[in-house]
A and B are shown apart, each in its own frame.
Chain A
Amino acid sequence: MAETTHQAFDPLATGSHARQLRAKFTVYALLVFFALLYLSPLVIIFMNSFRPLEEIVREGFISAPNALSAQYWVEAWSSFCIGGNCEGVSRYFSNTLIMTIPATILSTAFGVVNGYALSKWRFKYDTWVFGLITLGVFLPAQMTLLPWAFVLGKIGLSNTIGGLVLVHTVQGISFTTLFCRNYFVAVPDDLIKAARIDGAGFWRIFRRIMLPLSPPILIVCVIWQFTGIWNEFLFGTVFTSGSNQPITSAIVAFSGSGTGERHYNVEAASVIFAALPPLCVYVLGGKYFVRGLTSGAVK
């Protein structure tokens, strides 16, 4: 897409000076208000992760910490007891990591190849294949629970990270295929024809022509899949238990059903650990995500 060079019309810069000031003030006040509203949970949780338990109990949830100490963070990471397992969230964190990374890579890889085949090659019933694959996008996850439970049981992957990798890969292919196909449709067919005349086959065209054009949509797929799988909760809770759970399922234990006293500070740190990777991905990759979704393949 061409960069636009013209200055956007700024409605706040019209009218009298007083009007401009008033208008600007109102707009920014509203923006700040909503920004604070959305940020407040994060800020409150973050502050609580530094406060001793007595202080939280005494002063309530909303208050600044009196002293900064990483003590609760260390505890949350390595020794806190969750569901009878006293290794902290580190174990669940790495569970999620070794589930998310392969599932992201695999579903993206399949999606790119599917998208390429479905957009650039014609074969019998190709529109049907595409339709069925993308049906997965609209199918509610809970509908797939029983079939998956059956399949995982049959192939011996119940209650394993590997099982979750399989589930997330297959579920994710619907999205990545849809993204990639729609992106590749914009690549001119003449490129493929020229390459076929040049003597290249399916895979060489993929490697040498399509893949080099793909980074924007690869970034979209990776961000979408990574954050989606990381935050996913239903499959993890249903198909795994105990020390095999991903972090999102494990921290359900904080929901209050447990007995004994609540370690709000350590729990706060744990929750932040669970939220940190997708948060980083959004902050670092958000720009490329939008760019990849809106830009065409060939300028």
Chain B
Amino acid sequence: MSSLLIKNLRKSYGSVEVLKDINLEAKSGEFVALVGPSGCGKSTLLSIIAGLESVTSGEVLIEDKLVNNEAPKDRDIAMVFQSYALYPTMTVRQNMTFGMECRNIDKATQDDTITRVAALLQIEPLLNRKPGQLSGGQRQRVAMGRALVRDPKLFLFDEPLSNLDAKLRVEMRSEIKKLHQNVGRTTVYVTHDQIEAMTLATRIAVMHQGVLQQYAAPKEIYENPANVFVAGFMGSPNMNFFSARFVSSDAESGIALEGGDGALLPLPDGQYDHLTDGQPVIFGVRPEHFNPAHEGRAARKGNTSAVVSVAIEMDEPTGSETILMCKIAQQEAIVVCEPDEAPEPGTTMAFEIDMSKISLFDPSTEERL
């Protein structure tokens, strides 16, 4: 059974189309992350699921029931806002009971629920405070608490962690993960942060300019991005894109980088048989798929790697790894390597690329080949 189903959804504000033909489906208990650059329509999509915005065309189904024309309160959803939207004149307790009060839940049940949720989120000492007297992290918890006192069909989160500092964000991220595992409700989670998306989600929906680019499991998005946008958006540092062409002769076949020495980077067998000789491609390699070349390593790895020479221009040590700004065949590139293996800036060094993990895209359509 699908918990949430969105069919051919379109949304326009006046003449501006903000969402273009979105199709999305979430199974019961799934954690869907909605990612994309600012202004791509994530919040709008969430508001439409919540019933706070109307659709221009298309259908929204929650637990197989068409809800296009239902008010937010009848959709049985709970939502956490980026701004938290805590009621400023109510105490934390009143903030959390307000929804139950609106639904005429009796006082005893309300008290039990508050006790349970407050314990879960460790906000018992805050119950009688006003939102103005809480820190950012505490407010975030209360906002979560307000959603958790309900047992809705769907949880919606709109960038709930974006106002927190980096450390708290990591903490809350794992708490949200734990919560989802405990509560097990279908969740749609909007975020800017691809690490949040990768770590939390069972499936990620990548959006760009109102179009759903790819909807797949995190591993799939990372390994087989559907197009250049998804490949560049997910992953940090960004994937390298080289302009290159596919060369195939009787003797050998592979990728030749533009501006390079003409050496061919061999492709894994079987996967790219549909390419034709001389076809231009965008050759995508993630920075972490470069390794300093060692004798015999290529052979060990079953000949899936290809060696390139890398001219290092600048290094950025982060501690756990070193990011190298460099040139490969005169094209800008970023390579990540172990700090103790990092070469000096100004030197040239041989790196091998794990060819089983590369992506090829069509330069004209930017779609995956």
Closest residue of B by beta carbon distance from A194: B85
Question: Is B98's CB under 8 angstroms from A190's CB?
Answer: no
Give chain B residues whose Cβ lies under 8 Å from the Cβ of A198: 73, 98-99, 102, 146
Question: Is A199's CB under 8 angstroms from B99's CB?
Answer: yes
Give chain B residues whose Cβ lies under 8 Å from the Cβ of A193: 47, 50, 52, 72, 79, 81, 85
**B345 interface residue, CB < 8 Å from A?**
no
Give chain A residues whose Cβ lies under 8 Å from the Cβ of B102: 198-200, 204
Give chain A residues whose Cβ lies under 8 Å from the Cβ of B47: 193
A199 CB → nearest B CB, Å: 4
Closest residue of A by beta carbon distance from B147: A197
Interface string of B132-154 (1 = CB under 8 A from A): 10000000000000100000000
CA distance A201 to B96 in the complex (A): 17
Question: Is B77's CB under 8 angstroms from A197's CB?
Answer: yes
**A22 interface residue, CB < 8 Å from B?**
no
**A191 interface residue, CB < 8 Å from B?**
yes
Give chain A residues whose Cβ lies under 8 Å from the Cβ of B73: 196-201
Question: Is A191's CB under 8 angstroms from B99's CB?
Answer: no
Known contacts A196-B73, A199-B73, A200-B98: A209-B132 contact under CB 8 Å: no
Question: Is B83's CB under 8 angstroms from A209's CB?
Answer: no
**B71 interface residue, CB < 8 Å from A?**
yes
A168 CB → nearest B CB, Å: 31
**A298 interface residue, CB < 8 Å from B?**
yes
Closest residue of B by beta carbon distance from A210: B89
Give chain A residues whose Cβ lies under 8 Å from the Cβ of B272: none
Question: Is B89's CB under 8 angstroms from A212's CB?
Answer: yes
Give chain A residues whose Cβ lies under 8 Å from the Cβ of B85: 188, 190-191, 193-194
CA distance A201 to B88 in the complex (A): 18
CA distance A299 to B133 in the complex (A): 11
Question: Is B98's CB under 8 angstroms from A208's CB?
Answer: yes
Interface size on A, residues (CB 8 A): 19
Question: Is B81's CB under 8 angstroms from A209's CB?
Answer: no
Known contacts A196-B52, A196-B72, A198-B102: A190-B83 contact under CB 8 Å: yes
Closest residue of B by beta carbon distance from A198: B99
CA distance A195 to B77 in the complex (A): 12
Give chain B residues whose Cβ lies under 8 Å from the Cβ of A42: none
A4 CB → nearest B CB, Å: 19
**A213 interface residue, CB < 8 Å from B?**
yes
A102 CB → nearest B CB, Å: 28
A299 CB → nearest B CB, Å: 7
Residues in B33-54 with C-beta less than 8 Å from chain A:
47, 50, 52
Give chain B residues whose Cβ lies under 8 Å from the Cβ of A208: 87, 90, 98
Question: Is A299's CB under 8 angstroms from B87's CB?
Answer: no
Closest residue of B by beta carbon distance from A200: B102
Residues in B73-94 with C-beta less than 8 Å from chain A:
73, 77-79, 81-83, 85, 87-90
Closest residue of A by beta carbon distance from B53: A193
Report A's interface with B, CB cutoff 8 A: 188, 190-191, 193-201, 204, 208-209, 212-213, 298-299
Extra contacts besides A196-B72, A197-B78, A199-B99 (8): CB < 8 Å: A193-B47, A193-B81, A194-B87, A194-B146, A204-B102, A208-B90, A213-B89, A298-B88
